[in-house]
Structure 1
Amino acid sequence: MKPSTVWGPRVLSVLRIVLGLVLLQYGLAKLFGWPAVEMFENLKWLSLFGIAGMFELVGGTLLVLGLFTRPVAFILSGEMAAAYFIEHLPHSFFPILNEGDLAVSLCFTFLYLAFAGGGPWSLDAFLRVETPLQPDVSRA
């Protein structure tokens, strides 16, 4: 077997877990103040940032676990697109100038996960929730 065949799916799982942890830290910082980020002090839970924090907390946790990966990643992709257009685009078109490069990167990586799934190291795979995009006709 080629190394990409063996390691590709495993690295997909690692990517999902790391992205989930990155997103989870934003949710924790916004909603619970840990880690402490000055920008998120006195944040109201029902503000735009607070609601984004709820998506990040729940979505990040589900991504780390690999549970409902495809729909969660699709929703988070939309959240990151909204974050870019609402928070960053008004300052400049270019992500390098408006500090929106993380939002753009996360948006498209989450979109990739929405199609690729959570990989073999996920609860989706364990529970057989994850289905291929194309039916397996070899078993017919």
Structure 2
Amino acid sequence: MRLSADTAKPHVLALFRVVTGLLFACHGAASLFGVLGGAAGTHGGTLPAGAWPGWYAAVIQFIGGVLVVLGLGTRAAALISSGSMAYAYFSVHAKLALWPLQNGGEPAALYSWAFLLLAVTGPGAWALDGIFSAARRRRPAAPAEAGSPA
């Protein structure tokens, strides 16, 4: 097998998906469960359940990140995650200064664009979505029951 950019693309995309999703999920886990240093600004604690918008963002980060890592519902999870980070950038960071370097919004901007890329390109190789869809394609169609209209 000859290695080329075209044959490597789905595997590199999968690595990108797994790393991006894992980092995102860790950020959400820190805010929700107080692990890995806890929520930013809470000195190692957690965000109060239902607190707007932080707790909801953390839920999206954790669940969206896990789904993206697994490659399960990748496009939808990535689109929601991208929108969440775009919201965070424009509602929090952009008010402070024009450029992400000045307003501390680099992670939000990068996550927003990275997840938008995954929403458009799909999960790449090694995704549960691919495994489930391949299994569905291999499964024969169920025969029509006797006496039922065709």
CA contact (8 A) 2:71 2:128 kept: yes
How far is the alpha carbon of 1:2 from its aligned partner? 5.4
Q: Would you say 1:46 and 2:89 are equivalent positions?
A: no
Q: Would you say 1:12 and 2:4 are equivalent positions?
A: no
| Structure 2 unpaired stretches of 5+ | 135-150
SS at match of 1:36: coil
How do 1:48-127 residues align onto structure 2 when only pairs under 5 Å count? 48-127=53-132
More helix by share: 1
Deviating beyond 2 angstroms after TM superposition, the runs of 4 or more aligned structure 1 residues are none
Cα distance in 2, alignment partners of residues 126 and 58 from structure 1: 20
Q: Relative to structure 1, is the Cα distance of residues 42 and 69 closer, same or farther in structure 2, using a 3 angstrom cutoff?
A: closer
| Structure 1 unpaired stretches of 5+ | 130-140
SS at match of 2:94: helix
TM-score of the two chains, using structure 1 as the length reference = 0.87
TM-score of the two chains, using structure 2 as the length reference = 0.81
Give identity over the alignment, percent.
36
How far is the alpha carbon of 1:117 from its aligned partner? 0.4
Structure with larger Rg? 2
How far is the alpha carbon of 1:42 from its aligned partner? 4.7
